[in-house]
Amino acid sequence: MKAGCRDLERVLQDAGADPELAAAFEQHEESCADCGRQLAEWRQVSTAARALRRSWDSPQLLGRIRQSLAEEGRRVQVLSEVVA
Ligand SMILES: [Zn+2]
């Protein structure tokens, strides 16, 4: 299986749903600076989201978490537009 720039959006949306595509895309990413940059950015966002989820048992943080998730959503939208 071969992956290309057109697969970036699918990989970003749900890499877990298609491990074969995710693996193929990792190879593409190594030879494509554009996709590499966007995936690096995506991983930063994902890591931040995971860190936030770990704090969900703290109600005082809920407002900040909501705001962060909203910002994350905007960022995802920007990424999608870049890919489209
Ligand atoms: Zn690419």
User: 37-64: per-residue pLDDT in tens?
Assistant: 988 888 887 777 777 766 555 555 567 7
- What is the DSSP code string of 23-69? HHHHHHHHH-HHHHHHHHHHHHHHHHHHHHHTTTT-GGGHHHHHHHH
Span 59-80, average pLDDT: 66
- What is the distance in A from the centroid of ligand 1 to the CA of 5? 4
pLDDT band, very low/low/confident/very high, at 78 (cuts 50, 70, 90):
low
* Burial grade of 11 (CB within 10 A; 0-12, 13-18, 19 or more): buried
For ligand 1, the distance from its centroid to the CA atom of residue 34, given in whole angstroms, is: 6
Residue 68: per-residue pLDDT: 74
Q: Please give the distance, rounded to the nearest whole angstrom, from the Cα atom of residue 3 to the centre of ligand 1.
A: 8
pTM listed for this prediction: 0.53
What is the residue extent of each domain of the chain?
Answer: 5-83
Q: How far is the CA of 52 from the centre of ligand 1 (A)?
A: 29
**Whole-number pLDDT of residue 36:** 92
